[in-house]
Structure 1
Amino acid sequence: MSQAGAEAQSRPLLVNGEALKIDVTAPSGGGGPKYEPRTAQDAASFLLPQLTTALEDVRDLPQQLRAEDRIYVEAKLVANYLAPSYFPTPLLAQIGATPVGSRADVGLYQTSSKSEQVQTRRLVFTVPDTGLAAFESLVRTGGHGRTQAQAFAEIRKLDEVALPDPARVLRAPHHAIEDAALHVGARTWEAILHPRTTLSGDAVPLEEATLLRWFELIETHNGHVHRDFVRQVGGLTFTPVTMPSDEDAAALASFNPLRTLRPMPAIRPRPRFGLRSGNRLGPPASSRPVDTSVKVAVFDGGVDIQNGASQLFPIATPDLTSEPVDRDALDHGTGVTGAVLYGLVAPGQQAPQPPLPVESFRVLPAPIDEEDLEGYWVLDQIKVAIETGGHKLVNLSLGPEVAVEDDLEPNRWTSELDQLAWENDVLFVIAAGNDGEQDRATGLHRVQVPADMANGIAVGACDAPMPTKPWARAPYSSMGPGRHGARVQPLGVQFGGVDNRLFDVLRSDGSFLEASGTSFAAPVTTHALADLITRLPRVNSSVLRAFITHFAEPHRSHNKLRHEVGYGRHALSFQDALECGPDEAHILIVDDIERGDLLGYQVPVPAGSTGNLDLRLTLAYATPVDPTEPTEYTNAALEMLLRPHHQMYGFAPPPGTDAKRQTLDVRSAEARQLLIDGWKQSQEPTARSLGAPKGANEAQLRDSGKWETVRYHKVSLKPGEVELPRLEVAYVARRTGAIDNAPSKVPFAMLVSIRDKDASGTLYDAIRTQHKALLPAQRSRGRIRTRSSDQPHWY
């Protein structure tokens, strides 16, 4: 058979979709006047007493409980003003305040006809004592001159102003802090200190003088600072401290620059293993990886190098810890590494050829005396290894035993790894956690850190692998929602074993133990992604996140179970996904977008198509993150819009009439008559809503995924609704919660699937014929593309 004939039969997934880029014009600003729930004068009546109290609190605050030259103040935003464009910059500038972060909160969103409780946030800013007095004077007098009047108008956006509440700063254990009988003796706490911010807006750690005051306060209460483990992330200072009692810890919460004080979490417990299987896994026909240009890292309990490990585990196994081997940790690390190498295998089978080289780093147990600091030490090792090792795919089946919380306070694991992912274009695949059966009222069932990463993939567990049906979430698998920017968590699920169908955990000699847990689901997904890398001509972390989402199998009740199973069950292999049927086509678009840009892409529906079509659209991108802003954690938002028909426009009736807006083909006689009658035609073709309802407020936009780094949509289009359709991608950025106009570039990937539901048998071939720029995906040969730049960078 000729090469052309074989290619026509195989119908590969199509790449180079960025060649479908077309010129588009950003629509002019629209929308009616914004509803203002109150005036500045209304706000002044209740803010003035609060500011007077705040000034009194500052005067009463001892020097040892504050920074050298400033006070940290919180201001709760009215929920109507969540969007970055409403950030009260003129007010903060007038009083000499500098924003340093925010906290999650709830507040009232009001319109002329209704009000509802939604999520909002508390701005945190620093201000000199004179600035706080100036704030009080501005609210009391209304200001003088245009600049002060503009600043005064901004106070309508605020509900509360106060110094940080120690009760909010202190994150008590599950028992009440006053009930000392439930905890006797010392406890290690994680203290997080606010940053100070430079005039350029960059968050930087606290100065030495303020840190010394903090350390002295701890020592005054007979505490101990673990100075060797003090870390700075995104301007925040993470300080492990051991206090002799919970009462002594509570005394620290009044330190004004302190953001959070909470018990230090331990590393998650490992699953229990069952009996060994009698049958073994045969070694692969070739132990040489299919592709050696990309490395995979595993951080766990190591690999058992005894009993013929060289045949099944011909990999590097660096020891980052000098501690003696822990048997349970070693079995866990060996099983996790085996699943990364070979995927889901069973006794009696032969191992497949590993797709990529793997390094399995032994990081457990940690070589430190303070068991509570094990998580800090492990994270340090991961960070150094990734920054120096060049790994692009990382499996983490470990992490701290702490569930993500609704108030989304910063977490060092999540923040460090998200920054590593952004800076190094590395993808972390993380086990979601095994606490799904814990108490829901307290949130203990939620995904565990760092599975709430915005730039990673969190994997939960299900009770059956593909293609077995029916399937469901494994009862122990931790659930969402995650943090803002990654609310859909876990992103998906993979088989991890359940009581009546346990996971076969590979040992170094080819025998198996039995267990269950997301620890084993995650590496099966990591293996599938490693194999995918070998099958595509270019890959970055965004491409991998798009594939794992786009080709997940939705649960039959996916709309109800999104927080349980994410976008669905992960594939064991993408081999089938890389092949299209005659009535479908999958197109991959890999591109960059500049801040403020609007990009357009032709959706390659064949000209003259008259069938019923299904479109599936997945967008994934990497973003810088801001750990000081829990509700504004992702700095970039890519918004996707579909315009299905290039000739269908909206027509608005003339003012003063009762007629309703219409959507018509501009070529029709009816449309021409409306224009003659004074109707106004929209600037751009009519768009199909993707996610949020039309006219959604900012809180609804966020709930529907405006700032999510992975977006998935399915759209059905009837005959006559499609002609030269296009997708538009826009990029909005924020910094300290406000719109950021500084130049920046974000990489993204989109997968577009088109299916002809009428089964004409010609759709794929028609797309190939009409869009020559689209190329069939071919297996890589040593060159894998990472984040794009002006000149493509390869590794």
Structure 2
Amino acid sequence: MDDDEVHVWTSVLDQYLQDGHCLATIAIGNDGDLPGELGRIQPPSDMVNSLAIGASNSQSETWERAPYSCTGPGRSPGLVKPDGVLFGRSEDEKFYVYSPVSHSIVGTMGTSYAAPLAMRVAAGIDALTDFDLTTNSIKALMIHNAKSEKHSQNEVGWGKLPHTPEEILECLDDEATILFQGELKPNQHLRIPIPNDANCSSVILKATFCINAVTDPEHPLHYTRSGLDITFRANQNKKNDEQQHPDAKRFFSSKELYLTEEELREDAHKWETTISRSKKFRLNTLEDPVFDVKYHTREQGAATEKINDLSPIQYSLVLTIQAIGDVNLYNSILQKNQTLQPLKVSTRIQL
């Protein structure tokens, strides 16, 4: 992948996927053991409207990036690449598939096996739930549950993705996960409330935003024409003295979001299609907290005058609230927030 231009395969597929009706998983390539830029992710895995999947070497807790799995970063926007990794085999732990050539089970490896494994998990999320989840929500749920285990972001992206949909759809006893999904019109403001019904001293908030962006392949530096401006307000009753607005705190800052410190602009994260962050707060600092979200647009890198002609974009927010030790958190949030609907999950019969 080069930074100076977008491959035609990438741009065409990104445009097909920008309406949010389809989810695609893309293998990032198997040249990760080559030196320098030769080991970088391959088109079309540099897309912003897909899931770019790399390979891990094991299904155990001591997993690492498989040596052949290509590395990031991607462009900005689209800097966090791959989006995640899944088991793709190593010399010590093989990926077994049926071979129609030899009519037998053979061991193989590659990101081309990790990518359909990720699609299997995504399809399982959709099949096991009774709610009409958008493809954005499924993508957000998978990235939200990725575990980086302190591996380099350039090697594993957001981290290792879960191997089963149940790992994504089930919460721990002391946490609750809430999914918000909908459409945003250009320049529309949206306020998303965050329940703070925990019975403890500190809470951990993890939030993952996902959108499908309209792309502009002629301007790779400003590739996405759609973006979200997200402000976290921890306390609505604490006003900013100058502007008389609820006090705002940094949640998705570019320096915290990109571990590689490779921002092209101070607000580079605004134009990303996926952002995820986890942060710990003392409960007494949170009073009716909210995310204020605004849909921004641009054309050829500048503000567009044709705002009314642009289509709405789909957005998804996955929010996990963890109150360590408070096992009644889930039920408490449901009782005090009647507009939330519990997601029913079917039970699979394992053979």
TM above 0.5, yes or no, is yes
Matches within 5 A, 1:269-348: none
Matches within 5 A, 1:578-617: 578-606=169-197, 609-617=199-207
**Could you tell me which residue of structure 2 aligns to residue 483 of structure 1?**
75
- The answer to whether the 8 Å contact 1:506/1:513 transfers is yes
Alpha-carbon distance in structure 2 between the residues aligned to 1:647 and 1:562: 37
- Indicate which of 544, 549, 552 corresponds to 2:138: 544
Residues 1:762 and 2:328 are matched in the alignment? yes
Shift of 1:626: 0.8
**Could you tell me which residue of structure 2 aligns to residue 527 of structure 1?**
120
**Could you tell me which residue of structure 1 aligns to residue 313 of structure 2?**
746
**Could you tell me which residue of structure 2 aligns to residue 575 of structure 1?**
166
Alpha-carbon distance in structure 1 between the residues aligned to 2:88 and 2:264: 35
**Could you tell me which residue of structure 1 aligns to residue 349 of structure 2?**
none
**Could you tell me which residue of structure 1 aligns to residue 236 of structure 2?**
646
Alpha-carbon distance in structure 2 between the residues aligned to 1:598 and 1:424: 20
**Could you tell me which residue of structure 1 aligns to residue 3 of structure 2?**
406
Matches within 5 A, 1:179-190: none
Alpha-carbon distance in structure 1 between the residues aligned to 2:40 and 2:299: 28
- The answer to whether the 8 Å contact 1:610/1:720 transfers is no
Residues 1:691 and 2:244 are matched in the alignment? no
Q: Greater helix share, 1 or 2? A: 1
Q: Which has the larger radius of gyration?
A: 1
Shift of 1:533: 0.9
**Could you tell me which residue of structure 1 aligns to residue 23 of structure 2?**
427
Q: What is the one-letter code of the residue matched to 1:523?
A: P
- The answer to whether the 8 Å contact 2:142/2:168 transfers is no
Alpha-carbon distance in structure 1 between the residues aligned to 2:162 and 2:251: 29
Q: What is the one-letter code of the residue matched to 1:728?
A: D
Which protein has greater RCO, CA pairs closer than 8 Å, 6+ apart?
Answer: 2
Q: Please report the TM-score for the alignment, with normalisation by the length of structure 2.
A: 0.90
Name the CA shift for 1:510/1:771 in 2 (closer, same or farther; >3 Å).
farther
| CA shift digits 1:201-224 (9 cap, x unpaired) | xxxxxxxxxxxxxxxxxxxxxxxx
Secondary structure of 2:247 counterpart: coil
| CA shift digits 1:364-412 (9 cap, x unpaired) | xxxxxxxxxxxxxxxxxxxxxxxxxxxxxxxxxxxxxxxx1132x1211
Secondary structure of 1:564 counterpart: helix
Alpha-carbon distance in structure 2 between the residues aligned to 1:579 and 1:548: 12
Secondary structure of 1:738 counterpart: coil
Alpha-carbon distance in structure 2 between the residues aligned to 1:475 and 1:579: 32
Shift of 1:702: 5.1
Secondary structure of 1:645 counterpart: strand
Name the CA shift for 1:511/1:481 in 2 (closer, same or farther; >3 Å).
same
Matches within 5 A, 1:172-321: none
| CA shift digits 1:482-520 (9 cap, x unpaired) | 123211110000010111212112235973111111011
Shift of 1:683: 2.2
Shift of 1:640: 2.0
Shift of 1:479: 0.6
- The answer to whether the 8 Å contact 1:648/1:686 transfers is no
| CA shift digits 1:12-52 (9 cap, x unpaired) | xxxxxxxxxxxxxxxxxxxxxxxxxxxxxxxxxxxxxxxxx
- Indicate which of 447, 450, 453 corresponds to 2:41: 447
| CA shift digits 1:253-301 (9 cap, x unpaired) | xxxxxxxxxxxxxxxxxxxxxxxxxxxxxxxxxxxxxxxxxxxxxxxxx
* Superposed CA RMSD: 2.2
| CA shift digits 1:648-694 (9 cap, x unpaired) | 2334xxxxxxxxxxxxxxxxxxxxxxxxxxxx464222333422369
Secondary structure of 1:706 counterpart: helix
Matches within 5 A, 1:512-523: 512-523=105-116
Alpha-carbon distance in structure 2 between the residues aligned to 1:492 and 1:732: 27
Q: What is the one-letter code of the residue matched to 2:166?
A: Q
- The answer to whether the 8 Å contact 2:48/2:78 transfers is yes
Alpha-carbon distance in structure 2 between the residues aligned to 1:526 and 1:462: 16
Name the CA shift for 1:566/1:617 in 2 (closer, same or farther; >3 Å).
same
Name the CA shift for 1:717/1:773 in 2 (closer, same or farther; >3 Å).
same
Alpha-carbon distance in structure 2 between the residues aligned to 1:640 and 1:512: 49
Q: What is the one-letter code of the residue matched to 1:649?
A: K
Residues 1:564 and 2:155 are matched in the alignment? yes
- Indicate which of 417, 438, 456 corresponds to 2:34: 438
Name the CA shift for 1:756/1:433 in 2 (closer, same or farther; >3 Å).
same
Alpha-carbon distance in structure 2 between the residues aligned to 1:648 and 1:411: 48
**Could you tell me which residue of structure 2 aligns to residue 732 of structure 1?**
296
Shift of 1:463: 0.8
Secondary structure of 2:298 counterpart: strand
Alpha-carbon distance in structure 2 between the residues aligned to 1:424 and 1:689: 26
Name the CA shift for 1:510/1:708 in 2 (closer, same or farther; >3 Å).
farther
Alpha-carbon distance in structure 2 between the residues aligned to 1:686 and 1:638: 16
Shift of 1:577: 2.5
Secondary structure of 1:586 counterpart: strand
Shift of 1:593: 0.8
Shift of 1:469: 1.4
Secondary structure of 1:481 counterpart: coil
Residues 1:493 and 2:90 are matched in the alignment? no
Alpha-carbon distance in structure 1 between the residues aligned to 2:231 and 2:267: 16
- The answer to whether the 8 Å contact 1:534/1:779 transfers is no
Unpaired stretches in structure 1, ≥5 consecutive residues: 1-403, 652-679, 781-795
- The answer to whether the 8 Å contact 1:545/1:620 transfers is yes
Runs of 4+ in 1 over 4 A off after TM superposition: none
- The answer to whether the 8 Å contact 2:189/2:293 transfers is yes
Alpha-carbon distance in structure 1 between the residues aligned to 2:255 and 2:114: 35
**Could you tell me which residue of structure 2 aligns to residue 707 of structure 1?**
271
The alignment of Structure 1 onto Structure 2 pairs a total of residues equal to 337
Q: What is the one-letter code of the residue matched to 2:184?
A: I
**Could you tell me which residue of structure 2 aligns to residue 117 of structure 1?**
none
Unpaired stretches in structure 2, ≥5 consecutive residues: 347-351
Secondary structure of 2:168 counterpart: coil
Alpha-carbon distance in structure 1 between the residues aligned to 2:249 and 2:188: 18
Q: What is the one-letter code of the residue matched to 1:600?
A: R
**Could you tell me which residue of structure 2 aligns to residue 778 of structure 1?**
344
Q: What is the one-letter code of the residue matched to 2:16?
A: L
Alpha-carbon distance in structure 2 between the residues aligned to 1:488 and 1:766: 35
- The answer to whether the 8 Å contact 2:19/2:212 transfers is no
Q: What is the one-letter code of the residue matched to 2:266?
A: L
| CA shift digits 1:559-613 (9 cap, x unpaired) | xx0111000101111213312233110000011111111100110121x755210
- The answer to whether the 8 Å contact 1:581/1:764 transfers is no
Secondary structure of 1:506 counterpart: strand
